[in-house]
Amino acid sequence: MKTRSAILALLASVALAWSGGAAAQAASAPAPAPAASAPAKAKKVNPNLPYSEKGADTCLGCHDEEADSLTFTTAGVFKTRHAHRGDARGPFGPGKLQCEACHGPAGRHAADGKEIDTINSLKANSKLPVEKRNEPCLDCHQGNARTAWHAGAHDRERLACTDCHRLHVERDAVLAKTSEPEVCLRCHNKQRADFQKASSHPVRHGRMGCSDCHSAHGSASASTLNKPTVNQTCYSCHADKRGPLLWEHAPVAEDCTLCHSSHGSVRAALLTKSPPLLCQQCHSVAGHPAVARTGAALPGGAGGGQIFLLAGSCTNCHSQVHGSNHPAGAKLMR
């Protein structure tokens, strides 16, 4: 363990020495000079403070193995994409601010390890408001997936990027399908229960992640789905249900959740209710009585048994409940 971290630290410092020149220069100029070379937006976190003398090298003098804990290693950040030195967009790219690209100007803190409040710790217990904590991240990441961030429920609920993301670890759990749900389910307890139900989308087996259907960063659709509507989201995997069909069943084309729970259900096939009740929410009981009103309707009764009761459930006859392509499939029976 120790050797591994030592090698890492070594790798880190070699790489820093290689690219450090420009960064250190940018950083060591007296304030407010860094404004010229630093990306203009990176300064917003704490505009009046100086940057450290030698960038990451300054920090690593104190934030070394000794300071690491079971849950946090400073050097972990060097195993991530953020540490790519060739990437001019990244914190460790040529001329960039390195640690301080995320933590803000830490010149004062680095002088003696005090004045912790002057830096953006990005931690949940930070005194900075969430917008300030998210600022450095959004400065680099406002494109593509984050364009809807400010429209999403998570921004409205004032989540920080770091409520889901870990930046000092080689593998950020929320980015992998198998470990992502655990991150989400920390807050979404109802959904945790749903995915344990007998019939459920195979999230708990690691075959699906929440982000197969949801955009964690927000989207324009209800429940921040990946696609504009529920059905389009479902079709992205269940393409056979899209049709076109000769005989459509109206509710199927309208909204799958009229009959299915999206996450999990105690009934087979994720159904919200079991047939016949499921069907009788919309279809009159009168035509095909599915409950015995008199003894005569029961099997062996005077009436010889009601055919609709004998058949058990609507779907035994109307098996093509999602619609039919059979020329004679108008009643969804074939």
Site for ligand HEC in 82-121 (CB under 6 A): 82, 87, 89-91, 96, 98-103, 106, 109-110, 112-113, 116, 119, 121
Tell which one of 211, 292, 301, 329 touches ligand HEC (CB under 6 A). Answer: 211
Contacting range for ligand HEC; rule: CB under 6 A; set: 3-11, 30-38, 224-232, 295-303:
224-232
How far apart CA 231 and CA 255 sit, in angstroms, is 6
Tell which one of 244, 250, 293, 327 touches ligand HEC (CB under 6 A). Answer: 250
Q: How far is the CB of 30 from ligand HEC (least distance, A)?
A: 16
Tell which one of 30, 287, 300, 327 touches ligand HEC (CB under 6 A). Answer: 287
Q: Give the position of tokens 């710790």.
A: 121
Is residue 151 helix, strand or coil?
helix
Rg (CA), the chain: 29
Cβ–Cβ < 8 Å for 45, 118: no
How far apart CA 190 and CA 200 sit, in angstroms, is 14
**Interaction between residue 186 and ligand HEC (CB under 6 A):** yes
**Interaction between residue 259 and ligand HEC (CB under 6 A):** yes
Q: How far is the CB of 22 from ligand HEC (least distance, A)?
A: 14
Tell which one of 19, 46, 73, 231 touches ligand HEC (CB under 6 A). Answer: 231
Applying CB under 6 A, the site for ligand HEC has a residue count of: 132
Amino acid, res. 219: S
Contacting range for ligand HEC; rule: CB under 6 A; set: 1-9, 30-38, 220-228, 293-301:
220-228
Amino acid, res. 13: S
**Interaction between residue 57 and ligand HEC (CB under 6 A):** no
**Interaction between residue 72 and ligand HEC (CB under 6 A):** yes
**Interaction between residue 54 and ligand HEC (CB under 6 A):** no
Cβ–Cβ < 8 Å for 62, 90: no
C-beta closer to ligand HEC: residue 88 or 302: 88
**Interaction between residue 275 and ligand HEC (CB under 6 A):** yes
Tell which one of 33, 246, 282, 291 touches ligand HEC (CB under 6 A). Answer: 282
Helix (H) or strand (E) holding 318: none
Cβ–Cβ < 8 Å for 131, 176: no
Q: Is the dihedral of CA 48, 54, 55, 60 positive or negative?
A: negative
Nearby residues of 215 by Cβ (< 8 Å), 6 or more positions away: 145, 148, 152, 224, 225, 226
| Share of the chain residues as helix, strand and coil, in percent rounded to the nearest 5 | 45, 5, 50
10 Å CB burial of residue 92 (0-12, 13-18, 19+) is buried
**Interaction between residue 183 and ligand HEC (CB under 6 A):** yes
DSSP, res 67 = G
Window 297-326: residues binding ligand HEC (CB under 6 A): 307-308, 311, 314-318, 321-322
C-beta closer to ligand HEC: residue 110 or 300: 110
C-beta closer to ligand HEC: residue 153 or 302: 153
Cβ–Cβ < 8 Å for 181, 203: yes
Binding mask 126-165 for ligand HEC (x = CB under 6 A): --------x-xxx-xx---xx--x---xx--x-x-xxxxx
Q: Give the position of tokens 């390890």.
A: 113
Q: How far is the CB of 250 from ligand HEC (least distance, A)?
A: 4
